[in-house]
Amino acid sequence: METLQSLWYGFSIALQPENLFFCFVGSVLGTLVGVLPGIGPVGAIAILLPITFKLSTTGAIIMLAGLYYGAMYGGSTTSILVNIPGEAAAVVTCMDGYQMALKGRAGPALGMAAFGSFIAGTLGIVGLMLFARPLSQFALKFGPHEYFSLIILGLTFVTYLSHGSMVKAVMMCFFGLMLSNVGLDPITSSPRITFGILELFDGIGIAPVAMGLFGVGEVLVNLEKTISTQIVKTKIRNLFPSKLDWFQSRWALVRGTLIGFFLGILPGGGPVLASFLSYGVEKRFSKEPEKFGTGAIEGVAAPESANNAAASSSFIPLLTLGIPPNVSLSILFGAFLIHGITPGPFLLKDHPDVFWGVLSSMYVGNVMLLVLNLPLIPMWVQVLKVPDRFLYPLILLFCLIGAYSMNNSVFDVYIMIIFGIIGYLFRKFQYEGAPLVLAFVLGPLLDLNLRQALLVSEGSFLDFFTRPISAVTLGLALLLLLTSVFPFVMKRVQKYREATEDEQV
Amino acid sequence: MNRHDFVSGLFWLAIAIFVFAKALELGVGAFSNPAAGFVLFWSSIFLGVLSIIVIAKSVVKGQGKHLVELWTGIQWGNVLIAVIILILYSLVLPRLGFVFTVFGFLLALFMLGGIRLWVAATSAIITVAASYLLFHTALQVQLPRGPFGW
């Protein structure tokens, strides 16, 4: 009952004209970002972040949140029509979505993606609404030891789920921690690695780093390629899936939603992992697994519902624990801090207008996206036809304006360009920016909580393992590390055995 | 020795050593009373160890591509020119202001993409005007002014 009253209060905020406008702008821009390959939601949130400084906190978060889950909707359009995912979570949708388009069924594929996203996204928001309050109550028991352990778990997940070398991902985590320490020490106010530069006393901003790594870096990488995109030349008609399509997809939608919801909560999980896992599960459960990859409607319904459910549920750890579970929400976390609000267990109590306003706006945004995505598909197709040689300079321009507008300082532009070059080199030398950004955002919290915990326990690390929540959390992190190292160790043992047997022969 | 992992490993080892030295300058403190350089100290040690592992893997297993391979068969010149344009933009912006700098920036990048001069110039003018109206007028973003006040 209390939850319903709070939700009603949230709607009274979300349905204010200015907040409706921000939700609309965020959703449209998010869909656009999702449609266009190249700049993903991370880069887009980073680029738009400085513009939100002029807005109220609620308005800013509503717009950025709309951008985040809007990108999940938009990513499927390019996957289905061009076979190029608009953003990472839409990679799997390419497999069957594009095949459906080649068979003249682009309309039902796009329709199922939109409806599946709406259903799963709405259910994800319901879950967020139900879980938020109990989780916030639980998080009030957290002290410095528990927060430190939770951050370690979050960082461990990210490195575990990295696409390339885990060693390199862990290195980037530590580099991110180092970067987060630049500036004045929060406890002693001593300047750390500032080189005497005044602008560095406040530390390095998250927006120039993220815009550089994911915006500028991505454009630079694309500049060296010459890929021409071929849009499927078929008239897109009849966006409504047939009764047979709904019947065939019913379990894909349910399972995709559940998988996405639970994976979205976990640090490091999120929409990308959810979409891959749900596709794999559907193929495993299907009576005709061989049709996956040839245009199976379940192959579109499952990943699209999973990534949207995950996009909603990933707000749970951010809003209730103050732990951003993925890179996009790390920047959103930065947005909260810039507006003077710390997400976490006290958000619900101290800023219920922000919490319930944002949550209610997600319901509204979900409806807007369903309404926008279906009729506007022909428009998105036209947008896809904008040549890259016009698009990339515009993206760079938005990045430059965004970086400058943060503090009206060219210094932030320098930082962004430096990280743009770093982002480009990362891709060449096969390092990942995501662990760096996550560690960069969580670094100040980790530093503060670790030092406070050690002060309280007088230097003893035992307290991390004797306090129940901290012990369980660190145990999970250790288990994760061991399971990731285990296959590597087994491979080495196997090789040694084979080499020994060969010698004996 | 010219493999990309060897080179990147050396780079990160250098970063780790630098940060290690800075952490010692700041003071590491003790476990019971960590100082400002505590997290930097331990981060640099871990980064250093991991970079040595990357270097070792590159030397022992010959892992990683040759440096030349990373830039073979691609238009790396475009990237270099784009970076130079970005740097020039940031240097010129405080002096010439938003309008002129952005015009030059867009003109250069459009022409880098192979667009003809008059199309590039027209597109740049339209984009400068639109972005000025959007960011400065509508969103009230303070953009740097040039010698003519805009």
Tokens 């959103």 label which residue?
A332
- B101 in the same domain as B63: no
Which residues in chain B have Cβ-Cβ distances shorter than 8 Å to A400? 86, 89-90, 105
| Domain span holding position A116 | 2-224+242-504
Closest partner CB to A429 (pick from B4, B44, B135): B4
Which candidate in A388, A401, A485 is best for mutational testing of the B interface (most B CBs within 10 A)? Answer: A401
Inter-chain contact A175–B15, Cβ cutoff 8 Å?
A: yes
Final residue of a structural domain among B48, B70, B92: B70
A33 assigned to some structural domain: yes
Into how many domains does chain B fold? 2
B18 assigned to some structural domain: yes
B106 assigned to some structural domain: yes
- B110 in the same domain as B55: no
User: Can you tell me the distance from the alpha carbon of A501 to that of A25, in angstroms, rounded to the nearest whole number?
Assistant: 66
Tokens of A159: 């490195």
B43 assigned to some structural domain: yes
Burial of A98 (0-12, 13-18, 19+ CB in 10 A): buried
- What number of CA atoms fall less than 13 Å from residue B120's CA on the CB side? 18
Q: How far is B59 from chain A (nearest CA, A)?
A: 16
pLDDT value at position A500?
A: 76
Positions of chain B with pLDDT under 50: none
- Burial letters for B45-72: b for 16+ Cβ neighbours within 10 Å, e otherwise? eebbebbeebbebbeeeeebeebeebee
Cβ–Cβ contact B15 with A under 8 A: yes
- B65 in the same domain as B8: yes
| Domain span holding position B103 | 76-138
Report ipTM (2 d.p.): 0.92
- B66 in the same domain as B11: yes
Closest partner CB to A451 (pick from B34, B70, B143): B34
Inter-chain contact B83–A417, Cβ cutoff 8 Å?
A: yes
Inter-chain contact B22–A408, Cβ cutoff 8 Å?
A: no
pLDDT value at position A127?
A: 85
> DSSP strand E in A295-417: where?
none
User: Among candidates A109, A108, A104, which has minimal Cα distance to A80?
Assistant: A109
B123 assigned to some structural domain: yes
User: Can you tell me the distance from the alpha carbon of A262 to that of A377, in angstroms, rounded to the nearest whole number?
Assistant: 30
Cβ–Cβ contact B75 with A under 8 A: yes
User: Can you tell me the distance from the alpha carbon of A238 to that of A259, in angstroms, rounded to the nearest whole number?
Assistant: 29
pLDDT value at position A227?
A: 53
Tokens of A370: 């369903």
A477 assigned to some structural domain: yes
Which residues in chain A have Cβ-Cβ distances shorter than 8 Å to B132? none
Cβ–Cβ contact B135 with A under 8 A: yes
Contacts of A386 (CB under 8 A, 6+ apart): none
Closest partner CB to A224 (pick from B8, B79, B131): B79
- B131 in the same domain as B102: yes
Which residues in chain A have Cβ-Cβ distances shorter than 8 Å to B122? none
B146 assigned to some structural domain: no
A235 assigned to some structural domain: no
B148 assigned to some structural domain: no
Cβ–Cβ contact B45 with A under 8 A: no
Q: What is the pTM of this model?
A: 0.77
Burial of A2 (0-12, 13-18, 19+ CB in 10 A): exposed
3-state secondary structure string across A451-491: HHHHHHCCCCCHHHHHCHHHHHHHHHHHHHHHHHHHHHHHH
A230 assigned to some structural domain: no
A236 assigned to some structural domain: no
SS3 state at B30? strand
B19 assigned to some structural domain: yes
**Predicted confidence pLDDT, tens digits, chain A (505 residues):** 677 788 888 888 888 999 999 998 888 888 887 777 656 677 777 777 777 877 888 888 888 888 888 887 777 887 787 776 666 677 778 778 888 888 888 888 888 888 888 888 888 888 888 887 787 777 777 888 988 888 887 787 666 556 678 889 889 999 999 999 999 998 888 899 999 898 899 889 877 887 788 778 888 888 887 555 555 555 566 667 888 888 999 999 999 999 888 888 776 557 777 887 888 788 878 888 888 888 889 999 998 899 888 888 888 888 888 888 777 788 888 888 888 888 888 888 888 888 888 888 888 888 888 887 777 777 777 776 778 788 888 888 888 887 887 778 899 999 999 999 999 999 888 898 878 887 887 888 889 889 999 998 988 888 899 999 899 989 988 887 777 666 667 777 777 777 777 666 6
- B90 in the same domain as B50: no
B61 assigned to some structural domain: yes
Closest partner CB to A224 (pick from B74, B114, B144): B74
Query: What does R_g of chain A's alpha carbons equal in angstroms?
Result: 23
Into how many domains does chain A fold? 1
